[in-house]
Each structure stands twice: as C-alpha cells, then as structure tokens.
Structure 1
Amino acid sequence: MAPRIKDGDAIVAVSGKWVSYAHTLFAYAAFFSALIVGMALHFHKIVQNEHYGYPDEWFPSVSATIGDRYPERSFFQVFIAITSGPRFALVFLWYLLTSRPNSTLPKVVAGVGLFRTLTCGGWTYVTSTDDHDWHDIFMISYLVATLPWTLGCLALSPKNRRAVKYRKIMASLFFGTLVPLIYFFIQHKVHKVPGATTAYTRYAFFEWSLVLFDVGFDAVTALDFDSFEFVVRDVNGVSRGYVQWLPK
C-alpha cells in the first residue's frame, strides 16, 4: 500500500521487486547479447580453442564470447555495467530484509554479496585476452564466493514457501552443473579430447547453464522484495511534482 503523504511530497515510488527485475533483465542481456552478436560475426573465431576449432568445436565458451572479440565484448561490458546498480541494491535490500539484532550471518552474507559483485567486475573488465591469469583468479573467486552466498541466502530466506522452493531448485541446478562442467573441462584441458565427443563444446553448454542458474537464483528475490518500496521524497516541496507509482 502506498504511504500516506502530502501532495507534492513524493516524486516517485518504486516497488522493491523492480530491483530484481532490472538485475535479471540486464544480466541476461549482457551475456546473451554478446552470444548472439559473437555467433553472428565471429562464429569460427570464438569456437576456436587452443586445441581444436570448427567443426570439432561448434559452441563458444562464456569467456571466449564475452572477452575475445569486438563488438560482442562491448555489448557485454555495457550491460554488465548497468547491472551493477541493481546488483548493489539487491545486496542492500537482502541485508535489510534479513538483518536481525545480534545476528552476524546477515552481515557476512552481505559482505560476500559485495565481494561477488566486485569480482564480477574483475573478470568482466580484465578479459581472458587481456590477462588470462587474473581473469581466471577473479572468475574462480566469484564461483567460490557463490557457495557461501547461496547457502547464506537459503539459511536467511524469509518464510515464503514459493521463494524457498525456487531458491532450492536453482541452487541444486547450479551446484549439480559444476560436476559435468569440471569433468568436460578436464577432458578438454588434460586429455585434449577432440572430434565427435566435443569436450569443450559440452563444457561450454554447462558453463552457459551456470549463467542461467546463477542469475535465476537472485531473480527469486522479486518474490521477497515486493514488501519494500523506494520513495523519492521532496522534503522542501520545490519539485511541484505529483506522486507516481510504478505498478506493483
């Protein structure tokens, strides 16, 4: 319900769930706009790896798609930069939602959430082409931090059965995907499996699945954040504006 305010007091009010919507939209746009542009412009180049190329490998990894070529790299970087605003807001709202007196876990989870956001910026703007080692360090740090973030969010989830159900599904899919991901990476990197088995192509599919499940896990916050509302208030009454409410 909208807060009771004086005429001209509030400029705009936005439901908190729009933070989740914006985060999900721009995060997916970052990855999949790069994939579409890359497949259209540089298909043979981005499916090429250190051992094999097309037709042995026929689907690009996430790193090859977002970091190796222009303009797909720029599509990814622009959209992921836009995503950072909703991302910081999402971590902040989750902390407000779960914070309790004398409870340390919400602070730890919020700190991990901020760390993940910063490491995401690391592997976004330090591409595998720029510096492969640092790109991998940021990426591995991000993936490692995903474990305490996911488990912490599950432990702190409000009593919303629908949200808890979807979080458990997304978390199970994410961590379940890591097993075949690691297996096919070893097949590619160590055993150099080529041809019909296409180890790196299969690895790439599981890598893209991680993107879907990672963003999907945080998208569930829309079911919790509809209890929040951002209000821009003109305390001096100089705007002469009227109250605008984004739809619930």
Structure 2
Amino acid sequence: MSKTLIIALFNQSGGVAKTTLTQNLGYHLALKKRRVLLVDMDPQASLTTFMGFEPDELDQTIQQAIVDNKPLPIHPELIHGLALVPADINLAACEMQLASAIAREYRLKNALVTVQEKYDFILIDCPPSLGLLSIISLTAATHILVPIQCQFKSFKGTELLLSTVAQVRGHTNPRLQIAGFVPTMFDSRTAQESRTVKAVQEQLSDIATVYPPIPKTIAFADASERRVPLTLFDKNHPAVSVLKKIANSLDKLELLP
C-alpha cells in the first residue's frame, strides 16, 4: 500500500487563503526533502498562476485527466522544489461533461494511483464549492486540511463542511481523515477575530488539531504577485514560522492502518 499522504485543502467558502496555504505548505515540506506534488483542482487556477504559469496558455491541464482519462499532466520541471499539475478555466465544465460518467467521483483518485508512489505528499487545492470537483478531490484524499478565515461567517460555515466530509466518508472515501483546521487571515487587533479563533479552538479541537492562526498580511499577496512562496519573498516574515509549524505537523501525519 502506498504511504503517500494526499491532503485536500478544502473550504466551500472562497477567500480563505486556501491556495496560499497549498503553495506555502508544499514549499516547506519540500524544504524538508519531501517529494511534493501540487494538484490544482480549482477552475480559477490561482495555484497555477501563483506557480508562474498563464493558465490560458497551457495545452494540458488536470481537465484532460479528469474528463478524458489521460495521464496526469505533471509539469516536467520542479518549481521551487515542487511538482505541479496545473488547471485552467475549462475545468469548470467538468461537472457537465461528467454528468453521466460511471464512477465519476473516482476520476482523480484513479489518476493519482499511477503516480503517487513517486511522492511523499500530494496537496490538492480544491475549489470553493460543494460541487463535484470538491467531491472528486475529497474522494482522492487521505486527509483534509481546513482553512477557516477568522470571521464569524466563515466559522459558522464549518458545520456544512463537516457534513460534506461525513457524506464523503459514507459514500466514496470511508478512510478520509481530518488533518486539522487552520485559522487564516488573523488580525490580533480585532476583537471579533480573536473571539473567532478562540471559538475555533474550543469547538473544533475535539475533532482534529487546530493549528496556530496565519496572520493577515499583504506580504502573501506581494509574494503571489512575484509568483514565489512567502519564504522566498521575505524569509523573516512572522508568518513563516507559523507555516513551518504546520508543515512539521503535517509531516507527522499517518495513514489509517
């Protein structure tokens, strides 16, 4: 059995720093000499862009693997030590194209089986929805990592997210584990955000690990604009130490026996 950890970063809400986490945690795992593959499953293709590509200029993306059962189009060269399966807007049509496909939920899982022995970690950047692309991603994953923006509305949406995880466990992936919750975009000067972090810690720590909050900072956007992980933009930024802690914890995850 493969020992590859396949971690889906998922929240049905948008704007929670999911893509930023995918890139940066992947980078810190690569710094630990882990073999890491990033998979962009979001039609917005932000991860693909963050990694230095123009999605509309790509000939092959994850869409062909999901819809046409073609081999995963892994970019031939490592980027910041990371392998990448890119996406583009055509991925948005997958739900319609797979409407009548048999075992459609297993398309990504089956595609990853052919390559996962080459990697220690596969990180999947899921779309911000509860649609088929997210179900496909969670079906392929061994673990789910949940970014939660430090806002009351985002925190309240966690109940629906956990319901989705329960449904996936019940139908397509009974071995799916929750790797933890990551409070993101945290401004310690804001009373509501401090209350939200406290609520996340109190109410979700019995379900899975609640990691230290990722501080709100324009540095992530600046790093993304330059298409590099935060550490390569500003190695002394306070958020770097938090990312390292989370990556160290992910490195200790285990598969169910």
Would you say same fold, with TM above 0.5?
no
Compare the two structures and name the one with the higher helix fraction.
Answer: 1
Which protein has the bigger strand share? 2
**TM-score, normalised by the number of residues in structure 2:** 0.25
- Say which one has the larger Rg: 1
Structure with bigger RCO (C-alpha 8 Å, 6+ apart): 1
